[in-house]
Amino acid sequence: MRPYSMDLRERVIAACDFRDGTRRQIARRFGVSESWVRKLLRRRRETGSIAPRPQNAGRKRALTDRQLARLRRLVERRPAATLRELRDTLRLAASISAIDRAVRGLGLTFKTTRLRLGGRTRTRSPRRAAVRRRRASA
């Protein structure tokens, strides 16, 4: 449904109240759909108001303020913890991606350790390692 100004809503309702034509004619005159006129009249009849309904505010946060505070403290204490470990430690029923959004939203970063990198400072391809072994044995 397109957002219409309150002025247009009032004019359409007044035209319907004064029976200035059929709903189809009124809709055509004001450049709206006939179904919009019907819905507007139904809303007035059911609620007494012709004001637009509030718009959806979007996705709701997965974590409450209290849970976010606990998450912040845990990340500060254990910066090398994985997202899954954070979720499991806090016993949250949120997805891993929700935890990631929350951590990023708090402006927190994770510490990267050698342990998390597999203990190597540089990586070699398996093919290169095989060539080195052959050269060493020759």
Range of the domain at 34: 6-47
Residue 126 lies in a domain: no
Residue 119 lies in a domain: no
* pLDDT, average across residues 47-65: 86
Residue 86 lies in a domain: yes
* pLDDT, average across residues 75-83: 89
Residue 54 lies in a domain: no
- Could you tell me the two tokens for 118? 């597999």
Residue 70 lies in a domain: yes
Q: How much is the pTM?
A: 0.45
């849970």: which residue's tokens? 67
Residue 19 lies in a domain: yes
41 and 10 co-located in one domain: yes
- pLDDT, tens digit (0-9, with 9 covering 90-100), for 18-47: 999 999 999 999 999 999 999 999 999 999
What pLDDT does residue 115 have? 47
**Contact partners, residue 23, CB within 8 Å, separation at least 6:** 16, 34, 37, 38
- pLDDT, tens digit (0-9, with 9 covering 90-100), for 87-119: 999 998 899 999 999 999 998 876 655 444 444
Q: Number of folded domains in the chain?
A: 2
